[in-house]
Amino acid sequence: MNSSENSKNDFNERINNLNIMFNPKSIAVIGASRRKGSIGRAILKNIIDFGFEGTVYPVNPNAKSVNSIKCYPDLNSIPEQIDLIIIVTPSKFVYQIIVDAVKLNIKSAVIITAGFKEIGSEGEKIELDIINYAKKINMRIVGPNCMGIIHCHGPKFNATFAPRSPLPGKIGFISQSGALGVVVLDYASQLGLGFSKFVSLGNTSDVSATDMLRNLKNDENTDVILSYIESFTDPWNFSEVATEVSRKKPIIIVKSGKTAAGARAASSHTGALATNESALTATLSSAGVVRVSTVEELFDCAMAFSKLKLPKGNKVCVVTNAGGPGTLTTDALISQGLRLSVLSNQTKKILKENLSIETSIENPIDLIASGGPKEFEFTLDAVIKDENVDSIIVIFVPPIMIHSQKIAEVINKTLEKSDKPILGVIMGRNILIEEGKQHLFPMYQFPESAVHALRALTVYGQWRNQPIEKLEKLINIPEEILQIIPNAIKDNRRNLTTNEAQELLKGYGFEFPDSRIIITIYNAVNSAKEITYPVVLKMATNLVEHKTDEGGVITDIRSEKELVEAWNKIQRSYDRLEIIKKDRFVLIQKYYRGGVEMALGASVDKQFGPIIMVGTGGILIEILEDVSFGRAPISRLTARKMIRKLKGYPLLLGYRGDNPVDIKALEDSVLKLSQLVSDNRQITDLDINPILIFEVNQKPIVLDARIKISI
């Protein structure tokens, strides 16, 4: 058997052993205790109380029984094969327990015990030794330093020390924080949300979030996946698996650590703008993962995704009994990129003929305070049939004479007739806990919560309904072009020269103005005659990062006299910067008028790999920060979405009488850049700024480009 087959067999065995962890016939709790308040006692009690129908073996050399169950001194004393061990002993005993478990061919373990990687290098070494020994039989380990795991469908067991057991349901939860897990279990029960599986990963020494996504993908009891993530052990693999899973069921993630994302020092435009945060956002977006900012939003989305179908579009109708909340909802919808539905004439006619004269039949539809169950039911029946409506938000501020439960029953009744999502906002009191859990629709206290959830539902629906993206290879690259970077690496250089950068980009189909590298004024005069005026002079050295700031770029030079003046100005800038003569190269190139200045870039993130940037170009790029990102390689559809996200997108369509430019040519440029950085992984930073985008049938022109590489 070759190494590839061995690797595949190991992979399959590891998947199977993780399945065993959640489907055990027997569980041993090592460190089970009779002491009240101990974790070992709490876990054993939870396993029994939650209804585990297999055999539970407490293991403690100092006790004959725990919870009236016979206790065993060690694993070797247990009379049958164990499927899962839960370790709650002091950390100094854990390694030997794993050694014993491997000898007994036990396939899965949950290490609750802390005192490993999280306390420093000594603990990290012990943790690594444990994992390496477990690999002898491909044993799967959750933890250490975790809260445990729960399986809510047969075989049911709760192997955590959480004070509250979850309701059974269709939500899989993956957490890197045990403390947060306790909060999640408690709050979810209050909202009536149930779980299929719950996993506290702890130090993620073996079983990772990626492993759990793969496990939950084919779990018939899981419809929605929630996760709290602090860091990714293997972002590339996570992204690939998440993309597969998202095609079947939604993944909603709250990721901590946003504020530290911008700490990376960078000298390029792209590097300065493409932080780890933007790289993460691009990666999750491309994988169809819904990302939220807070745990509260996580639950807001969980309620919507677990109860509603996906909307077909982003057109929303708001039905309310109060004008103020309707306006707040409208503001929130627009700010989140959703649209108010324009109701059909037929719908408005029906509403006008059957509702009171005080009712506003324009969207948002205001039934006023006297609007009761009858008015809400009639309105929802009419609106739900309107093809211009993709989803509905119902807002009800309870007056004294109408109980909110009656309105909730109307919404339930409407949902039974249609797949269009309806979200309820019942304002004025905390009815979520009192009533929300029994209804077919998610219920919120405030409009903004409902809108955030609906936006997530809509964006995910759009991603899921789009065709699977195909990658385009626009150009075949000559071998000599692919050798440019390796040759620079051989010379121990971190920067490509201006000529090398141009040649590499030309090899991938980018166009440049007619240009020359010159070292004397005589070269400049002769080159200008060949190129023809107007021309541009600019510093051509990697020793100056921002050439415009240093007086190193002079444009629209129309005569020999202006050329000499420009030359002297650049030389004075070189003098001021104390750059020696042999490094004082100057680029002369044709000057172009017109077109829209855009910027392209790529930056390699340490976790997420090459990130592509497109933005409004020119000298204000870092001030305006009008940019969007995608993780390479990207498809044309992703390139198009990146471009349309820009605030400057209207400039491309033709603004105030200007002709529109060739947006497809800009898409092509983004795809060429994606192919370039995918082929040349040694690139660390790449800036193209500006690239001029012209009208249709005129090729884009790159005016400046810089490329940095890793040695």
Mean pLDDT of 465-479: 82
Sole residue written with tokens 């002491």: 35
**pTM (two decimals):** 0.87
Mean pLDDT of 277-293: 90
Contact by Cβ (8 Å): 366, 359: yes
Mean pLDDT of 526-532: 95
Q: Does residue 478 have a cis peptide bond before it, meaning omega lies within 30 degrees of 0? A: no
Q: Out of 3.90.120.10, 3.40.50.1220, 3.30.43.10, 3.30.470.20, which CATH number does the structure's domain 596-709 have?
A: 3.30.470.20
Contact by Cβ (8 Å): 131, 205: yes
Structure-block tokens of residue 318: 């708001």
Rounded to 10 degrees, the C-alpha dihedral 403/405/411/415 comes to -170
pLDDT at position 271 is 45
pLDDT at position 434 is 55
To 5 degrees, how large is the angle CA 114–CA 115–CA 120? 135
Highest-pLDDT range among 34-38, 332-336, 632-636: 332-336
Q: How confident is the model at residue 264 (pLDDT cuts 50, 70, 90)?
A: very low
Shortest CA distance to 32 belongs to which of 1, 2, 61, 3?
61
> Which residues does residue 515 pair with via DSSP β-bridges, in sequence order?
589
CA distance 65 to 32: 9
Q: Residue 661 has what DSSP assignment?
A: P
Q: How confident is the model at residue 265 (pLDDT cuts 50, 70, 90)?
A: very low
Sole residue written with tokens 């509403």: 351
Q: How confident is the model at residue 709 (pLDDT cuts 50, 70, 90)?
A: very high
Report the CATH number of the 3-230 domain: 3.40.50.720
Q: Which residue spans of the chain are classified as CATH 3.30.1490.20?
A: 514-591
pLDDT at position 268 is 45
Mean pLDDT for the chain? 91
CA distance 119 to 351: 66
How many Cα atoms sit within 13 Å of 386 on the Cβ side?
A: 26
Mean pLDDT of 45-61: 97
pLDDT at position 75 is 98
CA distance 592 to 705: 16
- Tens of pLDDT, residue by residue over 149-159, are 999 998 999 99
pLDDT at position 2 is 60
Residue 641, pLDDT above cutoff 60: yes
Percent of the chain predicted with pLDDT > 90: 76
- Contacts for 65-72 with beta carbons within 8 Å, 24 or more apart? 66/32, 66/33, 66/34, 66/40, 66/41, 67/32, 67/34, 67/41, 69/44, 71/32, 72/28
Q: How confident is the model at residue 711 (pLDDT cuts 50, 70, 90)?
A: confident
Contact by Cβ (8 Å): 250, 304: no
Report CA torsion sign: 216, 221, 224, 227. negative
Q: How confident is the model at residue 618 (pLDDT cuts 50, 70, 90)?
A: confident
**Which one is predicted more confidently, 369 or 98?**
98
Shortest CA distance to 704 belongs to which of 631, 644, 618?
618
Q: Which residue spans of the chain are classified as CATH 3.30.470.20?
A: 596-709
Contact by Cβ (8 Å): 504, 485: yes
Stated as kind and residue range, the H or E segment containing 422 is strand 422-426
Residues with Cβ within 8 Å of 581's Cβ and at least 6 positions away in sequence, in order, are none
What are phi and psi for residue 342, nearest 5 degrees? Answer: -95, 105
pLDDT at position 272 is 47
Q: Which residue spans of the chain are classified as CATH 3.40.50.261?
A: 314-465
Give the strand pairing for 515-518 and 586-590: antiparallel
Residue type, 395: I
Residue 432, pLDDT above cutoff 50: no
* Strand ranges inside 274-340, DSSP E: 290-292, 315-320, 339-340
CB atoms within 10 A of CB 624: 14
End-to-end CA distance of the chain: 37
Across the chain, how many H-helices and E-strands are there? 25, 30
CA distance 87 to 74: 12
The length of the chain is: 711
Residue 1, pLDDT above cutoff 60: no
Contact by Cβ (8 Å): 130, 137: no
Mean pLDDT of 430-453: 79
Q: Which residue spans of the chain are classified as CATH 3.40.50.720?
A: 3-230
> Which residues does residue 319 pair with via DSSP β-bridges, in sequence order?
365, 394
Residue 191, pLDDT above cutoff 50: yes
**Which one is predicted more confidently, 542 or 217?**
217
Q: How confident is the model at residue 142 (pLDDT cuts 50, 70, 90)?
A: very high
Q: How confident is the model at residue 471 (pLDDT cuts 50, 70, 90)?
A: confident
Architecture of domain 514-591: 2-Layer Sandwich (3.30)
Mean pLDDT of 537-545: 87
Architecture of domain 314-465: 3-Layer(aba) Sandwich (3.40)
